Structure 1
Amino acid sequence: MKNIITNLNKAFDHRTRLGIMSLLMVNEWMDFNGFKEMLDDIKDGTLASHLKALEKEKYIEIRKQFVGRKPNTSYRATASGKKAFNDHLNALEAILKMVE
């Protein structure tokens, strides 16, 4: 069991980061407001810090652009982010199978 637990990725320890990555696995790009809508009761600063942590790990990339005259920041999972997240999910699944 110890070896399986070491396969869990600390970057995804928090439920907000799990939520962010889950959303990015099924959406090519998502903007900040989209995350706020989908992740209930999250404050702007909290969301921004979790996005920054995932960006630091190079698990997400950021695109800044203007939509009309308004600035818009969008995010997507990188190839390494998708792999790391899938590896994390596989480790969780392995742990659950051991419990059954």
Structure 2
Amino acid sequence: MPDDDLDPVIHAPARLRVVATLVGLGRGDSISFPRLQQLLDMTAGNLSTHLRKLEEAEYVTITKTFEGRQPATFVALTETGRGAFERYSRRLRALLGDAS
């Protein structure tokens, strides 16, 4: 299986970490941007850049709201994103299995 079969949106290491973290949430669940940033130990700017790419691919949704008077941003994996991660994982396992 050639490497180009791996989804390039997910294959970037930082985006892979984001999606792998989000897939651990329940379907329909979201996580706050600051909590995701903390879990991944990423700067806000770096995380925002990668989330934008994932959002453009319709792999995540970003919801901006208010908690009291404070703005709050939440991130959730879409069903499209969940499916893409599952396909990516299968292809990666197949690629690694062929290498041994």
Structural mapping, 1:28-67, within 5 Å: 28-40=29-41, 42-67=42-67
Q: Tell me what 2:76 maps to.
A: 76
Classify the secondary structure of the residue corresponding to 2:6.
Answer: coil
- What is the CA deviation profile of residues 15-46 of structure 1, one whole-angstrom value per residue up to 9, with x for unaligned ones? 11111111111122111101111112x21111
Q: Which TM-score applies when normalising by structure 1?
A: 0.89
Q: Which TM-score applies when normalising by structure 2?
A: 0.89
Count of aligned pairs: 97
- The runs of at least 4 aligned residues of structure 1 exceeding 3 Å deviation read none
RMSD: 1.1
Q: How far apart, in 1, do the equivalents of 2:74 and 2:37 lie?
A: 12
* Runs of at least 5 residues in structure 1 that lack an aligned partner in the other structure: none
Deviation (angstroms), 1:7: 2.4
Q: Tell me what 2:19 maps to.
A: 21
Percent identity, aligned pairs only? 30
* Runs of at least 5 residues in structure 2 that lack an aligned partner in the other structure: none
Deviation (angstroms), 1:57: 0.5
